[in-house]
Structure 1
Amino acid sequence: MHKISGFIRKHVDHPPQAGPKTESATSSPGSAHAGPPIPFPSAKDFFRFRRQRGVNLGSWFVLERWISDAPFRSAIGPAQSDLDVARGPNAQQVLEQHWDTWITEGDWTWIADKGLNSVRIPIGYYHLCGADPSVLEGTDFVGLDHVFRGAWERITNALWTANRFGIGVLIDLHAAPGKQNRDSHSGATGEPRFFNKANMTHTIRVLTILVTHLTAFCQSVDPPLPNLLGIELLNEPQQDPSLEQWYKEAIYFIRRIDPSIPIYIGDSWMTDHYAGYISSNASTSPFTVLDHHLYRCFTHEDISTPASQHTKHLTDPKAGTPQMLSRVAQKLESAGGALIIGEWSGALNPGSLRDVGNEDSARREYVQAQLALFERHCAGYFFWTYKKEQAGDKGWSLRDAARAHIFPYRVGLGGRDKVLREDSEWHVRRIQARDKALGEHQGYWARYPGHYEHWRFDEGFLRGWDDAWLFFRSISSLPPSPFIPELGFKGPWVKMRLKEHSTAKGVSNLWEYEHGFLQGLQAARNDLTGLLLAK
């Protein structure tokens, strides 16, 4: 057994008293490190905390026949899952050829040129057998390590390649031992058997193997790779009474290995419930992110709703989805967490397009409504999916949606790096914005007698403004890109700054510092937007 695997087995079965030392995402300037001080924010911080505008690399490792049919042509029946392909003839050759051709250098270039700064890569537990064959023990994939052992090298190479393009990578456990939902994209066909003790325990072991080997790989590169955004514990798990406790246990063991790594959890379409779960566990699990998937093409209600109404329901701030995203995002942010949309698309059911004169126009408005909504409330979003084997699906394939101008030519703030380099009035506008905000803050609270410390608002505003501009200017710290990064995961970032501030200056009236910080962030963002428009 691998030495690392032995370490994992020991610590999953017997929780350690203290995990190995790793760089903390919340370390402050002057924190002690073994070795030279690590500057803050580091490149890793810029990747992990920036707003993620991304795409899913669907059917690269976890196959879905409706996306990529070729690997299924020699699969055994029912020929719908990875297990069916793996049991077919020449499976190793079929899969390795697919892995090496589905995403190539040109695809990374295209993604970066669109302003997309991140990818979500769905994998199955069996794809880790090249790092540790024990992941297959006691599972449906036992004895198939020769088929999948080549996947691990390709997964780590994807991290390395993405970094060259300034692209962050979120690794998503899409297929867990026993299947966590009924769909074949969970690795096999048939009913889910994830929710029994053996499979749930083994999945935690799989996740610890994944995190251990990923962090070791990132550290083995010179310089270390900063672009691992985090780990998603399970994709679309069906709801079960034991899921919440399983999340807690999985997070506990992962934090023992790497306390700083962001952890993403699926909401089982019970978004408010799991926002509450993250909020109630915020003190023991920092930087936990809730993943909600938004589709409007599957239910009977979706089918009978016209495309224009779907769009209206996303643009009306009083409608259900905007209300829910606003409510959940605020709750998570206040707890030091964050909300992302891990999957969304431009797909609409034919029933929604029945009376539409121009389908492309209807899809374009629908996509734009989603993007605007996500930008308003979410720390990140990932389109499903990057491409399909058969061209022409403008709802599900990003490549086709972009070609038809349904998806924007580019997303994010970009094309004006020169504006940042030549901006000499930054500090003047900073003080002007602070004075205005502080005056309004003091004026408002003067109406309510009480003990205040408005200097905390002052400090918070300036810190927030400065941090926002740290991200804007970090464009020069990342691989070449015309797109300007911005702080997206405000919840965990603000909690980190609050901890620094309270340690140095006490804990009274911290709400003023936090209010000032958030206003400083927004003022800086408004300032940059105005600067870009003026030029």
Structure 2
Amino acid sequence: MRTTLTTVAALSGVASAWMPGIHKDIVSIKGENLFNKTDPITKRWLPASGKIRGVNLGSMFVFEPWIAENIWSDMGCSNQNSEFDCVSAVGQDTANSHFQDHWDSWIVEDDIATMASYGLNAIRIPVGYWIREDIVYSDSEHFPQGALPYLKKICGWASDYGFYIIIDLHGAPGAQVAQNSDTGQFAPSPGFYVDYQFERGLKFLEWITTQIHSSNSFRNVGMLQIVNEPVQDSNQVGNLLSSYYPNAFSRIRAAEKSLGIAANNELHIQMMNAKWGSGDPTQYLTDNYFAAYDDHRYVKWDSSVAVSKDDYIRSSCNDDRGGNTPTVVTEWSLSVPDNVQYTPDWDPSTNQDFYARWFAAQVIAYEKQGGWLFWSWKSELGDYRWSYKDAVAAGVIPKNLDSVYDLGVC
């Protein structure tokens, strides 16, 4: 399969969702119409195939210390597990200052321009519910404040460069999984799965939906993920499927209706797909118009795949991520099991050819679905297997992404 940045057909009826490849007028912050641009870095048209090719802005608005330990330490958080813990330790005002410095420097406009020059067309932005500050329990919850202007700024830059944007509720009220910094709090148990926490999640979704449709900076946000990686436990997810998911749909659509949003401009509402292991996300939905699905594929943690280069290539080439449609593989990497990652056979400094071929194999598999977003754009690890930017610099990821189909990997 080959794709090119060519003109695509005009939107024909509401059955065509606003996904990459759809004809949609986009006006820049400066009031300039980007739709007719011919410059490949700035034009709005995405690949005619409609495939999402993008990266996550990991550790931007939900800080994961393992990605950027030096910055975390400089913020005075070196012994803390999460944003909640850091703010509790250093105090609200000090934390606000440190985090605002981080938001102002971790992803800058030059990063967005570089992504565009690499042929990427989408970004996924993980956020926590605490970005809506009035739903945070000020007496017992501690999170950095003041992130919304920085989110708007990044989305404005990305829109100027013609990116498709996914905003992802990565950190849910009470934490959707235990002891994981990617929820923003290292909670001893997942506290999200009760009605009052669902209600706070729904209030966040209503609010961010209104923000998206009301601010020009958010004009390229086409998808809203209603919770990232819920627990893979059938004893806990029942009310997630029967209550939170259908209510999220109704509350988001009600917010859009109140704003007079036409059906063809409504947001895609994204849930983890059935492969994630939290049940069938559609089980209780009565209206799945513009529903979308998320798949995460980290082969390093899949014990069914033998740890050999041939098996990794073979498994990825034959990897069927189908099921719920449309599915986008929004998280994946080139990382391998911890116990072998720096052995001679897997060392990234001497095995660039393998990692380039494995990257190609994964892209080919994921583009059989709606596309992909790599985790992550950058890191402080010094390991390109988790950093798209570093992998391009190492010659492992090509700037011409179409060229992965020419390698004959699969």
Q: What are the residue-to-residue correspondences of 1:38-49 with 2, within 5 Å?
A: 41-43=23-25
SS at match of 2:148: helix
For the pair 1:368 / 2:360, whether they are aligned, the reply is yes
For the pair 1:250 / 2:254, whether they are aligned, the reply is no
SS at match of 2:53: strand
* Residue of 380, 392, 399 corresponding to 1:402: 392
Separation in 2 of the partners of 1:388 and 1:76?
A: 17
Kindly provide the CA deviation profile for residues 346-401 of structure 1, in whole angstroms up to 9, marking residues without a partner as x: 111255565628422221121110011112x21121000000124x2121011111
Counterpart in the other structure of 1:229 = 222
1:54 Cα deviation after fit:
0.6
TM-score normalised over the length of structure 1: 0.60
Classify 1:53/1:180 alpha carbon distance in 2 versus 1 (closer, same or farther; 3 Å).
Answer: same
User: How many residue pairs were aligned?
Assistant: 349
Kindly provide the CA deviation profile for residues 44-90 of structure 1, in whole angstroms up to 9, marking residues without a partner as x: 69679932111001001100111122134445685121112222331
Separation in 2 of the partners of 1:272 and 1:185?
A: 18
1:155 Cα deviation after fit:
0.6
Separation in 1 of the partners of 2:274 and 2:83?
A: 23
The answer to whether the 8 Å contact 1:83/1:188 transfers is yes
Amino acid of the residue matched to residue 381 of structure 1?
A: W
Separation in 1 of the partners of 2:102 and 2:377?
A: 15
For the pair 1:84 / 2:85, whether they are aligned, the reply is yes
Classify 1:25/1:62 alpha carbon distance in 2 versus 1 (closer, same or farther; 3 Å).
Answer: farther
Counterpart in the other structure of 1:477 = none
For the pair 1:197 / 2:195, whether they are aligned, the reply is yes
Classify 1:340/1:140 alpha carbon distance in 2 versus 1 (closer, same or farther; 3 Å).
Answer: farther
The answer to whether the 8 Å contact 2:169/2:227 transfers is yes
Classify 1:280/1:67 alpha carbon distance in 2 versus 1 (closer, same or farther; 3 Å).
Answer: same
Classify 1:244/1:57 alpha carbon distance in 2 versus 1 (closer, same or farther; 3 Å).
Answer: same
Q: What are the residue-to-residue correspondences of 1:205-220 with 2, within 5 Å?
A: 205-218=203-216
Amino acid of the residue matched to residue 68 of structure 1?
A: A
* Residue of 286, 289, 292 corresponding to 1:286: 289
For the pair 1:389 / 2:380, whether they are aligned, the reply is yes
Counterpart in the other structure of 2:114 = 110
The answer to whether the 8 Å contact 1:47/1:226 transfers is no
The answer to whether the 8 Å contact 1:124/1:175 transfers is yes
Q: What are the residue-to-residue correspondences of 1:348-359 with 2, within 5 Å?
A: 348-351=336-339, 354=343, 356=345, 358-359=350-351
1:340 Cα deviation after fit:
0.4
Counterpart in the other structure of 1:159 = 155
* Residue of 160, 167, 173 corresponding to 1:171: 167
Separation in 2 of the partners of 1:199 and 1:273?
A: 20
- More helix by percentage: 1
Uncovered stretches (5+) of structure 1, i.e. residues with no partner: 1-23, 30-39, 414-528, 530-535
Amino acid of the residue matched to residue 122 of structure 1?
A: P
The answer to whether the 8 Å contact 2:333/2:375 transfers is yes
Q: What are the residue-to-residue correspondences of 1:240-389 with 2, within 5 Å?
A: 240-245=237-242, 246-258=244-256, 260-267=266-273, 269-270=275-276, 273-274=279-280, 277-278=281-282, 281=285, 284-301=287-304, 305-316=307-318, 321-322=319-320, 325-326=321-322, 328=323, 332=324, 337-351=325-339, 354=343, 356=345, 358-375=350-367, 377-389=368-380
Classify 1:371/1:76 alpha carbon distance in 2 versus 1 (closer, same or farther; 3 Å).
Answer: closer
Counterpart in the other structure of 2:36 = none
Separation in 1 of the partners of 2:302 and 2:394?
A: 26
The answer to whether the 8 Å contact 1:78/1:84 transfers is no
Counterpart in the other structure of 2:37 = none
The answer to whether the 8 Å contact 1:306/1:351 transfers is no
The answer to whether the 8 Å contact 1:124/1:186 transfers is yes
The answer to whether the 8 Å contact 1:55/1:119 transfers is yes
Kindly provide the CA deviation profile for residues 145-189 of structure 1, in whole angstroms up to 9, marking residues without a partner as x: xx41x2101111111111111112110111010001121110101
Q: What are the residue-to-residue correspondences of 1:506-525 with 2, within 5 Å?
A: none
Classify 1:242/1:72 alpha carbon distance in 2 versus 1 (closer, same or farther; 3 Å).
Answer: farther
SS at match of 2:385: coil
Separation in 1 of the partners of 2:224 and 2:46?
A: 14
Amino acid of the residue matched to residue 384 of structure 2?
A: K
Separation in 1 of the partners of 2:226 and 2:139?
A: 18
Counterpart in the other structure of 2:38 = none
TM-score normalised over the length of structure 2: 0.77
SS at match of 2:150: helix
Counterpart in the other structure of 1:58 = 58
Classify 1:162/1:87 alpha carbon distance in 2 versus 1 (closer, same or farther; 3 Å).
Answer: same
Amino acid of the residue matched to residue 52 of structure 1?
A: I
1:409 Cα deviation after fit:
2.1
Classify 1:365/1:166 alpha carbon distance in 2 versus 1 (closer, same or farther; 3 Å).
Answer: same
The answer to whether the 8 Å contact 2:108/2:154 transfers is no
SS at match of 1:121: strand
The answer to whether the 8 Å contact 1:236/1:267 transfers is no
Separation in 2 of the partners of 1:293 and 1:28?
A: 27
Uncovered stretches (5+) of structure 2, i.e. residues with no partner: 1-10, 17-21, 27-43, 257-262, 406-410
Separation in 2 of the partners of 1:109 and 1:370?
A: 25
% identity of equivalent residues? 24
Classify 1:65/1:412 alpha carbon distance in 2 versus 1 (closer, same or farther; 3 Å).
Answer: same
Classify 1:242/1:410 alpha carbon distance in 2 versus 1 (closer, same or farther; 3 Å).
Answer: same
Amino acid of the residue matched to residue 214 of structure 2?
A: A
1:301 Cα deviation after fit:
4.8
Q: What are the residue-to-residue correspondences of 1:485-500 with 2, within 5 Å?
A: none
Classify 1:252/1:226 alpha carbon distance in 2 versus 1 (closer, same or farther; 3 Å).
Answer: same
Classify 1:156/1:51 alpha carbon distance in 2 versus 1 (closer, same or farther; 3 Å).
Answer: same
SS at match of 1:192: coil
